[in-house]
Structure 1
Amino acid sequence: MRIFGLAALPLLLLAGCDGAPDNKKLAETEAKQSRDAANNGRIECALEGAKLFDRTCTVQEMSGDGGTILVVGRGDVGYRRLQITTDGRGVVSADGAEQATVTIIGEGMIEVAIGADKYRLPADTGGVD
């Protein structure tokens, strides 16, 4: 009888859950984790045409005469410099060699593509989803 009682416990626990995740809550949690990681100097990136993102890139903010520059580290393969703009574009390539393309991917998050590299950065997106 005890074995049956213990075996039925997981079924009773599962019966109390509807099993459907709250996608909005998951997205909010993921965005918060990304912002927190960026605040700790880590961002998600997909380098050299990779399809999957991982949190291996670093970001540092520097202030100068021309405004704020983000130095995005690419692991052991160098870095990129991004100029934060005030005209609504988000960021532009500060190096000038390759153009940065910015896409809003969610509230508070942008994706910056430069060449074959992509970076996800927290940003003020004005509440746009």
Structure 2
Amino acid sequence: MEMKHAYVLLLLMTLSACSKDFQGGKLERVYVEDFTSSNIQQCKPEDVDLSNAQAKAFFERARIVDSRTLHDHYEYASCAIEGVATYAGQSCSWQIQASATGRLRCGETTWLFACDECDDLFDTSK
């Protein structure tokens, strides 16, 4: 039983270390490819209408969070933009939800993001 706890602790430490490795300045060629919505009446393209540069700014401003923090402290939005980018020379896919949360997946590594300083990016009154 103690070995199982040690393995879980090691896994959690590894996942934490991965999240600290992300450096926004290494994210390049951020390109918006698509918009998705599971409820187009509730969540529309204009709710997450970010340009390529704004999508990059989101990942530079946002902070890395774990799945529990994302679930417990941030809203889920039924629409998002998706795209591709390059991070440290590796091809990646990403998603940014209208709730100013997102994810970046590069190979086997996925980072979850929440941005508390991104209201200007999601301002639908523009």
User: Which structure is higher in strand share?
Assistant: 1
Higher RCO structure, 1 or 2 (CA under 8 Å, sep 6+): 2
**Higher radius of gyration, 1 or 2:** 1
Output the TM-score relative to the length of structure 1.
Answer: 0.31
Output the TM-score relative to the length of structure 2.
Answer: 0.32
User: Which structure is higher in helix share?
Assistant: 2
